């Protein structure tokens, strides 16, 4: 079946047989979102230093061998293996960066340091500790194998090989890898521009006093942190009261100049109608009731302005739900838009040392603490799993992912966890 356009899906949901906005599974929602995302295509060249976390727009092909010459892996002596039983005349030295200029003849060797070029006339290096030296004569006390302790030219990277593919996100190791090729700049996709704002009459910015019923706007800060970690260009558009005119203005301002707009709050039942009307006027947005906890309401779509169309993610307002829906949906979507391929979070299976109450039928992302006992990693859920309790995200180090079919668990059962480290 061909993919219907977002407009078709938004106006006639029955155009997709399995589409049920009132019972969306995590994987279904991810798949729907994925169909409508397009990676950025504009490129820029950056010095290596500035490329951390950026997505390669061009494949990097090795212009040389790394290392570019055979070199010693040890401090020792380079010699001809066939001469290993002879006393060997030490005829010179090769230091890292200072090659020995000459060739070895029968019965000769050179002193060599780690990284020193192994002359083509030698085929073995013996480490210092396996030799004895008297005056200028070397005796090998333990003969290594032919070719031992020599790092071959090109054993790290070969001339002409693909080093890093287009779509790869640069890690600290990659910065060094590119430098090891002598390449000063890399071509990456431009940074994704993401705007976000909070919605809610009750929200107050930090530094102000709270009146009764008001709360500080924390989602803006968690969103700022999560987006910054991802390496996108962020625009914080503040906390907007539940006022249609202000919301409309902010939404359109954001959509005009950004690739994606993220809001928190205002998508739950009772509030959604408000956002629905607004989004229906300016784009195609789907409102889903996810069968997950936390994070039941979620909206996804596109918002159009005269100058630009932006992807829209409407996240639930509860602070934990905002974070969970970001990590389970938005992060992957943004990575795709950045030009890279999102990879599933690595999961571990570990023993849960406490019982867990859960109803089957939806996926739960409980906040857990993994801890080590005698070399074995175990996990326990934090006591308060309310979606409003943001401290559970700070004190946890993993999500305990309980699938749709999982019901109550006894202490000692095995659960799946997604570690925060590396994710957030």
| Binding footprint of ligand AMP on the chain (CB under 6 A) | 198, 200, 202-203, 215, 217-219, 264-266, 268, 271, 316-319, 388
**DSSP count for the chain of H helices, then E strands:** 9, 26
Note the Cα 200 to chain centre separation in Å.
31
Q: Which does 72 bind (CB under 5 to 8 A by kind): ligand AMP, Mg ion, none?
A: none
Closest distance of CB 226 from Mg ion, Å: 20
Q: Which does 198 bind (CB under 5 to 8 A by kind): Mg ion, ligand AMP, none?
A: ligand AMP
Q: Give the residue with the Cβ less far from ligand AMP, 264 or 328.
A: 264
Cβ pair 267, 316 in contact under 8 A: yes
Q: Which stretch binds Mg ion (CB under 5 A): 111-119, 278-286, 310-318, 368-376?
A: 310-318
The token duo for 162 is 């693909």
Tell me if 283 contacts Mg ion by CB under 5 A. Answer: no
Q: Which does 154 bind (CB under 5 to 8 A by kind): ligand AMP, Mg ion, none?
A: none
Closest distance of CB 259 from ligand AMP, Å: 22
Nearest partner of 285 among 306, 316, 310, judged by Cα:
310
Closest distance of CB 307 from ligand AMP, Å: 28
Q: Give the residue with the Cβ less far from ligand AMP, 50 or 202.
A: 202
CA distances from 42 to 103, 265, 325 (A): 53, 32, 28
Nearest partner of 293 among 33, 21, 24, judged by Cα:
24
Tell me the torsion sign for CA atoms 359, 364, 369, 372: positive
**Over the range 360-394, which residues count as b (16 or more CB within 10 Å of their CB) and which as e?**
eebbbbbbbebeeeeeeebbbbbeebebebbebbe
Q: Give the residue with the Cβ less far from Mg ion, 129 or 201.
A: 201
In the region spanning residues 184 to 223, those forming contacts with Mg ion, defined by CB under 5 A, are 200
Q: Give the residue with the Cβ less far from Mg ion, 144 or 317.
A: 317
The residue within the footprint of Mg ion, chosen from 116, 265, 297, 381 (CB under 5 A), is 265
Tell me if 301 contacts Mg ion by CB under 5 A. Answer: no
Q: Give the residue with the Cβ less far from Mg ion, 247 or 409.
A: 247
Nearest partner of 111 among 81, 138, 84, 144, judged by Cα:
138
Q: Give the residue with the Cβ less far from ligand AMP, 88 or 267.
A: 267
* Residue 253 host element (H or E): helix 244-257
Closest distance of CB 279 from Mg ion, Å: 15
Sequence-separated (6 or more) residues with CB below 8 Å from residue 331:
226, 230, 342
Tell me the torsion sign for CA atoms 217, 250, 296, 276: positive
Q: Give the residue with the Cβ less far from Mg ion, 231 or 265.
A: 265
Closest distance of CB 219 from Mg ion, Å: 10
CA–CA distance, 223 with 31 (Å, rounded to integer): 23
Q: Which does 202 bind (CB under 5 to 8 A by kind): Mg ion, ligand AMP, none?
A: ligand AMP
Q: Give the residue with the Cβ less far from Mg ion, 265 or 297.
A: 265
CA–CA distance, 408 with 74 (Å, rounded to integer): 58
* Residue 395 host element (H or E): helix 391-395
Q: Which does 319 bind (CB under 5 to 8 A by kind): ligand AMP, Mg ion, none?
A: ligand AMP
Q: Which does 76 bind (CB under 5 to 8 A by kind): ligand AMP, Mg ion, none?
A: none
Contacts with Mg ion by CB under 5 A lie at: 200, 265-266, 317
């Amino acid at each position: 079946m061909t993919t219907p356009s977002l407009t078709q899906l938004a106006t006639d949901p029955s155009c997709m047989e399995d589409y049920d906005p009132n019972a969306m599974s995590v994987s279904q929602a991810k798949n729907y979102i994925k169909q409508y995302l397009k990676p950025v295509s504009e490129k820029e060249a950056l010095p290596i230093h500035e490329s951390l976390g950026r997505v390669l727009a061009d494949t990097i092909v090795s212009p040389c061998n790394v290392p570019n010459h055979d070199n010693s892996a040890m401090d020792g002596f380079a010699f001809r293996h066939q001469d290993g039983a002879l006393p060997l005349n030490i005829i010179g030295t090769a230091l890292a960066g200072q090659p020995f200029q000459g060739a070895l003849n029968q019965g000769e060797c050179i002193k060599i340091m780690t990284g020193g070029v192994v002359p083509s006339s030698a085929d073995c290096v013996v480490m210092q500790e396996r030799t004895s030296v008297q005056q200028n004569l070397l005796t090998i006390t333990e003969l290594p194998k032919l070719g031992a302790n020599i790092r071959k030219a090109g054993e790290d990277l070969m001339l002409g090989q693909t080093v890093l593919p287009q779509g790869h996100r640069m890690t600290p190791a990659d910065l060094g890898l590119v430098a090891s090729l002598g390449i000063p700049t890399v071509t990456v996709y431009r940074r994704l521009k993401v705007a976000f704002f909070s919605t809610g009459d009750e929200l107050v910015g930090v530094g102000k006093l709270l009146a009764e019923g008001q709360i500080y706007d924390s989602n803006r800060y968690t969103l700022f942190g999560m987006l910054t970690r991802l390496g996108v260009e962020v625009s914080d558009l503040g906390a907007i009261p539940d006022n249609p005119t202000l919301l409309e203005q902010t939404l359109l301002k954001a959509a005009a100049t950004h690739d994606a707009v993220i809001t928190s709050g205002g998508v739950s039942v009772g509030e959604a109608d408000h956002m629905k009307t607004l989004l229906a006027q300016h784009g195609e947005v789907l409102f889903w009731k996810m069968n997950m906890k936390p994070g039941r309401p979620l909206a996804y779509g596109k918002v159009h302005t005269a100058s630009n169309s932006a992807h829209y993610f409407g996240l639930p307002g509860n602070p934990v739900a905002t974070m969970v829906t970001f990590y389970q949906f938005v992060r992957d979507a943004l990575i795709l838009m950045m030009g890279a391929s999102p990879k599933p979070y690595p999961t571990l299976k570990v023993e849960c040392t406490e019982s867990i109450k859960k109803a089957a039928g939806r996926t739960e992302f409980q906040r857990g603490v993994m801890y080590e006992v005698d070399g074995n990693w175990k996990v326990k859920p934090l006591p308060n799993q309310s979606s409003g309790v943001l401290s559970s995200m700070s004190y946890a180090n993993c999500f305990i992912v309980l699938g749709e079919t999982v019901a109550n668990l006894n202490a000692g059962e095995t659960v799946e966890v997604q570690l925060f480290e590396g994710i957030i």
